[in-house]
């Protein structure tokens, strides 16, 4: 017969081995996660439309786009919903849907200037790809106004007096699927100086994998063995 001391020694060896297996399994089964990174900055190329001119009439007077030369003041406005602009032909057939035909767009992505002609509006499209589902954080600064869409859906819009500060506006997207996306931006000016700053960070989301079920099973087996080891030996 095996003595109590021998059984105890064997149990200790089994527990140590099981702990090692659990540790290795934890490292091998956890989903790999790419580090967060900046995907868009002022240096990022984008499709650019500088041929819009002064389009304040599409929602004026008294709308989000004030008249030229501060003729309607220098208001502070934060949009709570899509402004529903009636886009002019210079935007193309359906720029928010990716159809730029007939518009005044660049033929290919170009460097986006931080300034543009006073009393006019410009439009930008940044196309980007996500390798995995991610959250986004946007830092924006503009003089005077900006409206942002993501894949054609309204995301944010604001106008205010003052100069450009990259931390002027913070916008978060909790979850965006992997694949191709488009960030669409309308910049507005109604007199005086103008400017623009942007930084977009992507943070991959961790999605549990089916293989984690195996890790759970190994952990439960380890707990059972430890409990058996602690149980009093019948005499």
Summarised one tens digit per residue, pLDDT across range 162-216 is 999 999 999 999 999 999 999 999 999 998 889 999 999 999 998 645 554 444 5
3 state SS of 135: strand
On whether residue 224 sits in a domain, the answer given is yes
The verdict on residue 129 lying in a domain is yes
Does residue 146 contact residue 165 with C-beta atoms inside 8 Å? no
Structural domain total, the chain:
2
Residue 101 lies in a domain: yes
End-to-end Cα spacing for the chain: 14
Residues with Cβ within 8 Å of residue 142, at least 6 apart in sequence: 164, 168, 169, 187, 194, 195, 196, 197
- Domain assignment present for 98: yes
* C-alpha triplet 171, 89, 67: angle, nearest 5°: 65
The 10s digit of each residue's pLDDT in 8-42 is 444 455 445 444 444 434 434 433 444 569 999 99
Distances (CA, A) of 88 to 52, 124, 202: 8, 15, 32
* Residue 18 domain-assigned (yes or no): yes
Range(s) of the domain holding residue 15: 4-31+209-230
235 is a domain residue: no
Answer yes or no: do 86 and 189 share one domain.
Answer: yes
């Amino acid at each position: 017969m095996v003595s109590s001391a021998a059984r105890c020694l064997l149990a200790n060896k089994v527990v140590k081995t099981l702990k090692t297996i659990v540790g290795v399994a934890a490292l091998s089964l956890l989903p790999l996660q790419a580090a967060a990174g900046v995907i868009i900055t002022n240096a990022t190329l984008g499709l650019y439309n500088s041929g819009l001119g002064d389009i304040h009439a599409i929602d004026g007077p008294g709308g989000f786009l004030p008249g030229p030369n501060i003729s309607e003041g220098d208001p502070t406005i934060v949009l709570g919903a899509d402004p529903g602009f009636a886009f002019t032909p210079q935007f193309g057939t359906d720029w928010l849907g990716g159809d730029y035909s007939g518009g005044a767009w660049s033929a290919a992505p170009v460097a986006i200037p931080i300034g543009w002609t006073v009393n006019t509006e410009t439009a930008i499209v940044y196309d980007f790809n996500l390798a995995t589902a991610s959250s986004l954080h946007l830092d924006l600064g503009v003089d005077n106004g900006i409206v942002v869409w993501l894949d054609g859906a309204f995301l944010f819009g604001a106008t205010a007096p003052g100069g450009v500060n990259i931390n002027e506006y913070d916008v978060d997207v909790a979850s965006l699927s992997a694949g191709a996306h488009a960030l669409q931006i309308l910049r507005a000016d109604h007199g005086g100086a103008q400017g623009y700053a942007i930084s977009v960070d992507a943070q991959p989301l961790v999605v549990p994998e089916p293989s984690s079920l195996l890790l759970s099973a190994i952990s439960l087996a380890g707990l059972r063995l430890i409990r058996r080891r602690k149980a009093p030996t019948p005499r």
